[in-house]
Amino acid sequence: MNEPSIETRVRLDALLSDFEELRQWQVGYPVNQDFDYSPLLPFMQYCANNVGDPFHESNFRINTHEIEREVIDRFANLMRLPGEQAWGYITSGGTEGNMYGLYMGREAFPDGVVYFSQDTHYSVVKILRVLKARNIMIRSQDNGEIDYDDLYETIRINRDVPVIIMANIGTTMKGAVDDLGKVRGILDDLAVTDRYIHGDAALSGMILPFVDEPQPYGFDAGLDSVAVSGHKLIGSPLPCGVALTKRGYVARVARSVEYVGVLDTTLSGSRNALTPLMLWYAFEHYGLDGFREVVADMLAVAEYAVARFNDSGIPAWRHENSVTVVFPKPAAEVLRKWQIAHYEDFAHVITMPHVTRETIDALADDCLKS
Ligand SMILES: *Cc1c(COP(=O)(O)O)cnc(C)c1O
């Protein structure tokens, strides 16, 4: 390609300064803005493609499958899944990871019913339609956790049908974690043996492994698959995530494709080769200790935010180990300026690494003024 024309450059410069301006006001979405992948820029010059199963040979040799497998291994460790049992791939984001997990559940139990709470991410309804999976929505408690009594009663009257649970490991709006111990207790009580539990750990999947007293969140707590986002806590200019499950489930859907010489185990065919590289680079950069520090700092700012809001007379709260601070919905201009998501009568601020105590002070002042 030739050098860009002046008009093209003007257009790009304008867009760039928009991004630069907007980024500092973004406190309502769980995306880390604090990253620098510029050492990876040279890789933008190649048409790399991770088509197919990262654990299998591919005819398309400009790929990052080896790096991708290392990233999967990292996540398997974090999610307490022994490496030799682990299978996964880097997805386009949380939605694809959730679709993959529920796909595995549906393939394991084609007649199963998927149970999910009212507070589950909006994408679940679409995923269940695509999969044509039978499903029942369960009530949520006010704090965002699934209502265990409603779950118990609903499964009780459908005891003859396999159970597929979509568990929230950190809901989008309130950061609530469904209690996997209680969920398994319900299934044990009702003697449901045909069961599959998928965990949606978009944000908290990168928080709970790094705190001293996490809520149960991993494969050791009963998960059969999990989805974690890459562009949320870790941060990435390209949306991405990880789908992680057990090899046994994947073997059911594996199919070899001659054209690309790969096993067609992934939802998409051609896949991003740069996002595994970015996640790998982030793990190299931070290390586990680095992430532990990042998470501790985020939680400290969240604690500060609750105190600062409450001191100002704004009732704010958060769950244990959560960076999602919930408070009453502020005026429309505040929502717009700070790019805050709201639902019904409440809103939230998420203390990602670019959100500082000063940011919280300024936001609280704006809330009081409006
Ligand atoms: C963000 C989020 C998702 C979806 O992730 P995308 O990357 O936008 O597809 C799913 N579940 C939860 C809990 C989330 O917070």
Task: Determine the pLDDT at residue 360.
Answer: 96
Please say whether the beta carbons of 34 and 353 come within 8 A.
Answer: yes
- The ligand 1 atom nearest the CA atom of 94: 5
Which residues partner with 194 through β-bridges?
none
Q: What is the CATH number of the domain that holds 208?
A: 3.40.640.10
* Same domain flag for 193 and 80: yes
Ligand 1 neighbour 94 (Cβ under 6 A): yes
Please work out, in degrees rounded to the nearest 5, the angle formed at the alpha carbon of residue 213 by the alpha carbons of 317 and 316.
Answer: 5
Alpha-carbon torsion, ordered 125, 129, 130, 134, to 10 deg: 110
Structural domain count of the chain: 2
* Same domain flag for 162 and 22: no
- From 283, 316, 333, give the residue that closes a domain: 283
Other Cβ atoms closer than 10 A to 60: 17
Largest CA distance in the chain: 70
Q: Three-state SS for 137?
A: strand
* Same domain flag for 28 and 46: no
Q: Is 321 part of any domain?
A: yes
Residue ranges of E strands in the chain: 86-91, 113-117, 134-138, 163-168, 195-200, 225-229, 241-246, 256-257, 262-263, 324-328, 342-343, 346-350
Please say whether the beta carbons of 260 and 58 come within 8 A.
Answer: yes
Q: What is the CATH number of the domain that holds 322?
A: 3.90.1150.10
* Same domain flag for 172 and 34: no
- The ligand 1 atom nearest the CA atom of 232: 1
Please tell me the distance from the alpha carbon of residue 257 to that of residue 138, in angstroms, as a whole number: 40
* Same domain flag for 328 and 207: no
Residue with the two structure tokens 């909006």? 122
* Same domain flag for 344 and 271: no
Task: Determine the pLDDT at residue 293.
Answer: 98
Q: Is 341 part of any domain?
A: yes
Ligand 1 neighbour 172 (Cβ under 6 A): yes
* Same domain flag for 133 and 78: yes
Q: Which two tokens stand for residue 322?
A: 């959560």
* Residue 238, amino acid: L
Ligand 1 neighbour 93 (Cβ under 6 A): yes
Q: Catalytic residue among 140, 229, 236, 322, which?
A: 322
Q: Is 122 part of any domain?
A: yes
- pLDDT, one tens digit for every residue, the chain (370 residues): 889 999 999 999 999 999 999 988 889 889 998 899 999 999 999 999 999 999 988 888 999 999 999 999 999 999 999 999 999 999 999 999 999 999 999 999 999 999 999 999 999 999 999 999 999 999 999 999 999 999 999 999 999 999 999 999 999 999 999 999 999 999 999 999 999 999 999 999 999 999 999 999 999 999 999 999 999 999 999 999 999 999 999 988 887 677 677 788 999 999 999 999 999 999 999 999 999 999 999 999 999 999 999 999 999 999 999 999 999 999 999 999 998 988 889 999 999 999 999 999 999 999 998 8
Please say whether the beta carbons of 189 and 223 come within 8 A.
Answer: no
Cα atoms found within 13 Å of the Cα of residue 60, Cβ hemisphere only: 23
Q: Three-state SS for 213?
A: coil
Domain residues for the domain of 347 are 6-38+288-369
Q: Is 349 part of any domain?
A: yes
What's the predicted TM-score (pTM) here? 0.95
Ligand 1 neighbour 324 (Cβ under 6 A): no
Ligand 1 neighbour 241 (Cβ under 6 A): yes
Ligand 1 neighbour 229 (Cβ under 6 A): yes
Residue 266 CA, ligand 1 centroid: distance in Å:
19
Q: Is 126 part of any domain?
A: yes
Question: Which residue has the CA at smallest separation from atom 8 of ligand 1?
Answer: 94
Q: Would strands 346-350 and 324-328 be described as parallel, antiparallel, or unpaired?
A: antiparallel
Q: Which two tokens stand for residue 282?
A: 């982030």
* Same domain flag for 223 and 357: no
Q: Is 328 part of any domain?
A: yes
Q: Is 1 part of any domain?
A: no
Q: Is 206 part of any domain?
A: yes
Residue with the two structure tokens 């529920």? 102
Determine the length of the chain. 370
* Same domain flag for 89 and 168: yes
* Same domain flag for 228 and 319: no
User: To test ligand 1's pocket by mutation, which of 29, 116, 121 has the most ligand atoms within 8 angstroms of CB?
Assistant: 121
User: To test ligand 1's pocket by mutation, which of 31, 32, 91, 95 has the most ligand atoms within 8 angstroms of CB?
Assistant: 95
- From 238, 257, 283, give the residue that closes a domain: 283
186 CB contacts (<8 Å, ≥6 apart)?
A: 148, 151, 152, 155
Question: Which residue has the CA at smallest separation from atom 5 of ligand 1?
Answer: 94
Q: State the DSSP H helix or E strand holding residue 172, giving kind and residue range, or none if neither.
A: none
Please tell me the distance from the alpha carbon of residue 6 to that of residue 142, in angstroms, as a whole number: 55
Tell me, yes or no, if 270 is annotated catalytic.
Answer: no
- From 283, 318, 348, give the residue that closes a domain: 283
Which residues partner with 14 through β-bridges?
none
* Same domain flag for 204 and 90: yes
DSSP state of 177: B
Please work out, in degrees rounded to the nearest 5, the angle formed at the alpha carbon of residue 346 by the alpha carbons of 342 and 347.
Answer: 45
For the chain, how many helices (H) and strands (E)? 10, 12
Distances in Å between the Cα of 245 and the Cα atoms of 32, 158, 164, 207 are 25, 26, 14, 19
Please tell me the distance from the alpha carbon of residue 43 to that of residue 59, in angstroms, as a whole number: 20
* Same domain flag for 111 and 224: yes
Indicate if the alpha-carbon torsion angle 122, 124, 127, 132 is positive or negative: negative
